[in-house]
């Protein structure tokens, strides 16, 4: 035990120095992290006092998710750019605290649209960096076609978007939630309404009310149960994925140099120099 104690103290001291260096180098990220964490902890305390345990669980989940960027950096030795890390932290806060606890999804019609757009952007960044990081050798990394890298990032983002919609649909069917929000529409175009059964589209325009079991739903139109919401989510996910794919394309094309390359660096995770040097030494051996 006496032999291990100094080693543990040294490791603890090195860890503390590393954290202090990270704080000095990333003052803005640390400030955003601390502010958001304080807000979430205050919300957690209020939720417990009020007996709102579901809200408390959301707060705990948000606090755990806040640790993910640091966990990924430490575990996989990946450097997440400050700009991207701030976007991730704000995204978690906007989705969990503002969206769920403060009901921003209901109060602001485009809140969900904004988050799905950002999600498409972030997932494209993850997909791009996966290929970029797997190709650890610097020379091999840039042999990949910029168009190929952009397509991989785009496809990864869209796949995650589709899987998330599957999850929402499953939650609605199994647990009777309403993750796929309904949409009020005022026109129907369906072959189901064709009395001749000849596959002819019958249109009903200007729908003002719908009655179910003798009860007027009172929304001034027909309620679409999630299809329009799902397609809108996938569409804005597509937009976010395309935006990042274009950024990634120019990052590879200009090798991270030039105005386009420098701009792209703010959004693309990379391997830390320490990990890269270790990989190079391993390859040489």
At 236, list the tokens. 């804005």
Answer whether residue 138 shows pLDDT above 80.
no
| pLDDT value at residue 25 | 73
Helices (H), 135-222: 138-141, 146-175
DSSP conformation class of 144: S
pLDDT of residue 62: 96
pLDDT at res. 265: 83
At residue 188, does pLDDT exceed 60?
Answer: yes
Residue 271 has φ and ψ, to the nearest 5°, of -75, 140
Whether pTM > 0.75 for this model: the answer is: yes
Across 160-167, average pLDDT? 96
The pLDDT of residue 5: 64
Which has more pLDDT, 56 or 261? 56
* Alpha-helix runs per DSSP H in 203-257: 227-253
Q: Could you tell me which residue, 219 or 50, shows the higher pLDDT?
A: 50
pLDDT digits (tens, 9 = 90+) for 229-264: 999 999 999 999 999 999 889 888 877 677 777 888
Q: Say what the pLDDT of residue 273 is.
A: 62
Q: What is the pLDDT of residue 262?
A: 80
Mean pLDDT of 168-186: 89
Whether 87 contacts 269, CB under 8 Å: no
- Would you state the pLDDT for residue 120? 96
Q: Is 257 helix (H, G, I), strand (E, B) or coil?
A: coil
Q: Measured between alpha carbons, how far is residue 281 from residues 134, 151, 277 in Å?
A: 16, 31, 6
In this predicted structure, the answer to whether residue 275 has a pLDDT above a threshold of 60 is no
Provide the pLDDT for residue 278.
52
> What is the model's pLDDT at position 59?
96
With 60 as the cut, is the pLDDT of residue 1 above it? no
Range scoring the smallest mean pLDDT among 166-170, 187-191, 223-227, 258-262? 258-262
Mean pLDDT of 202-216: 85
Identify the H or E element spanning 206: none
| Residue 88 banded pLDDT, cuts 50, 70, 90 | very high
Instruction: Name the residue among 250, 285, 270 with its Cα closest to residue 135.
Output: 270
CB 247 within 8 A of CB 264: yes
Q: 244 with 124: CB under 8 angstroms?
A: yes
Segment 56-61 mean pLDDT: 95
- State how far the Cα of 40 lies from the Cα of 45, in Å rounded to an integer: 9
Q: Cα dist. 45→41, 58, 59, 62 in Å?
A: 6, 12, 9, 14
Quickly tell me which residue has 């589709």 as its tokens.
Answer: 162
Q: Where are the beta strands (DSSP E) in 11-121?
A: 78-79
Q: Which residues pair with 190 in a beta bridge?
A: 202
- At 258 the pLDDT is 73
**What average pLDDT does this structure show over 86-109?**
93
The predicted pLDDT at position 51 comes to 95
Mean pLDDT for the stretch of residues 262-268: 84
Distance between first and last Cα of the chain: 35
| Mean pLDDT for all residues in the chain | 85
pLDDT at 131 (0 to 100): 85
């Amino acid at each position: 035990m006496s032999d291990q104690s100094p080693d543990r103290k040294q490791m603890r001291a090195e860890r503390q120095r590393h954290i202090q260096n990270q704080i000095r180098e990333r003052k803005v990220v640390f400030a955003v992290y601390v502010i958001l964490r304080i807000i979430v902890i205050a919300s957690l305390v209020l939720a417990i006092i009020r007996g709102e345990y579901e809200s408390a669980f959301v707060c705990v989940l948000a606090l755990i998710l806040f640790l993910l960027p640091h966990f990924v950096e430490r575990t996989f030795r990946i450097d997440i750019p400050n700009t991207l890390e701030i976007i991730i932290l704000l995204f978690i806060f906007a989705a969990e605290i503002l969206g769920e606890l403060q009901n921003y999804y209901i109060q602001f019609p485009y809140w969900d649209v904004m988050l799905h757009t950002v999600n498409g952007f972030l997932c494209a960044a993850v997909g791009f960096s996966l290929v970029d990081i797997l190709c650890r050798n610097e020379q091999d990394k840039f042999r990949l076609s910029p168009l190929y890298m952009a397509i991989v990032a785009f496809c990864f983002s869209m796949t995650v978007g589709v899987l998330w919609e599957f999850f929402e649909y499953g939650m609605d069917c199994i647990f009777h939630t309403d993750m796929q929000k309904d949409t009020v529409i005022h026109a129907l175009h369906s072959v189901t309404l064709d009395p001749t059964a000849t596959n002819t589209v019958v249109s009903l325009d200007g729908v003002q009310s719908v009655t179910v079991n003798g009860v007027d739903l009172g929304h001034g139109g027909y309620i679409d149960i999630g299809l329009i919401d799902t397609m809108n989510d996938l569409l804005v996910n597509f937009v976010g994925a395309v935006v990042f794919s274009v950024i990634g394309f120019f990052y590879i094309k200009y090798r991270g140099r030039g105005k386009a390359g420098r701009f792209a660096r703010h959004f693309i995770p990379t391997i830390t120099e320490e990990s890269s040097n270790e990989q190079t030494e391993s390859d040489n051996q």
